Structure formats: structure tokens, C-alpha cells
């Protein structure tokens, strides 16, 4: 608990695309994450941002990367799992359809990143 308050937790998620480019957007005014063009779907996927979690769209990665930061490890990890579950390919073969947003790195927030 002291580590979360003093340092904080950071989870990094990568957008993996094989067929269609995935475009994640952070809508901070309404408190949601919007995912566009997932497997060519016309409708956008909206995921709520849990309280105490800050979502940053990391612009230096051309494929798309989302950083989830916060003091509560449960809220940060639950928000990343909500994004991962929203990008489920369904009944398609997961070995062939690798599209989705997956956790690439998790840990503490360090000052030099």
C-alpha cells in the first residue's frame, strides 16, 4: 500500500494489428477509452476509465501504446483487463487473428521514464 501511494503503478499496453489498424483514443472529458477500427468494425468500442487511473496515449510508438498509471494496483490492472477483454476476436482462430491490445509491461513508475 505504501509503494502505491509513494511511487505508483504503471501498466503498458501495445496495440497488435495484423489485418486492420487499431486506433485507440483517450477521451478524458467523458472518462472513456475509444477503440476504432478493431477487426474492421464500423462501431467504436468504449471502455470506462476507473477512478484513480490515468490513461496516457504514448505517441512515440507508431503502432499505438497506452500507459495506465495510478496508486491502486487493483484499479489499474482491472482497467487493462477491461481493455483486453473488449478486444476479443470471438469465435475466430486466435492463432491467426492476433489483433488486440495486450499488456506488454507492468511495474512501478520510475522517474527516468
**How far apart, in whole angstroms, are the C-alpha atoms of residue 68 and residue 22?**
18
The answer to pTM > 0.75 is: yes
Q: What is the pLDDT of residues 48-98, one digit of tens each?
A: 999 999 999 988 877 788 999 999 999 999 999 999 999 887 787 777 778
Higher pLDDT, 4 or 1: 4
Q: What is the pLDDT of residues 2-59, one digit of tens each?
A: 777 788 999 999 988 877 888 899 998 999 999 998 888 889 999 999 999 999 998 8
The CATH classification number of 2-107 equals 3.90.930.12
Give pLDDT, residue 112.
43
Consecutive H or E run containing 53: strand 53-58
Question: Coil, strand, or helix at residue 102?
Answer: strand
Phi-psi sector, 91: left (phi>0), alpha (psi -120 to 50), beta: alpha
Domain ranges, ordered by start, for the chain: 2-107
Amino acid at each position: 500500500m505504501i509503494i502505491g501511494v509513494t511511487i505508483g503503478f504503471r501498466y503498458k499496453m501495445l496495440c497488435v494489428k495484423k489485418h486492420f489498424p487499431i486506433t485507440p483514443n483517450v477521451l478524458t472529458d467523458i472518462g472513456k477509452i475509444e477503440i476504432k477500427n478493431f477487426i474492421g468494425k464500423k462501431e467504436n468500442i468504449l471502455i470506462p476509465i476507473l477512478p484513480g487511473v490515468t490513461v496516457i496515449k504514448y505517441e512515440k510508438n507508431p503502432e499505438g501504446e497506452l500507459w495506465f498509471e495510478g496508486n491502486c494496483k487493483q484499479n489499474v490492472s482491472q482497467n487493462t483487463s477491461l481493455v483486453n477483454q473488449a478486444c476479443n476476436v470471438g469465435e475466430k482462430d486466435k492463432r491467426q487473428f492476433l489483433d488486440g491490445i495486450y499488456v506488454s509491461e507492468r511495474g512501478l513508475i520510475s522517474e527516468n521514464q
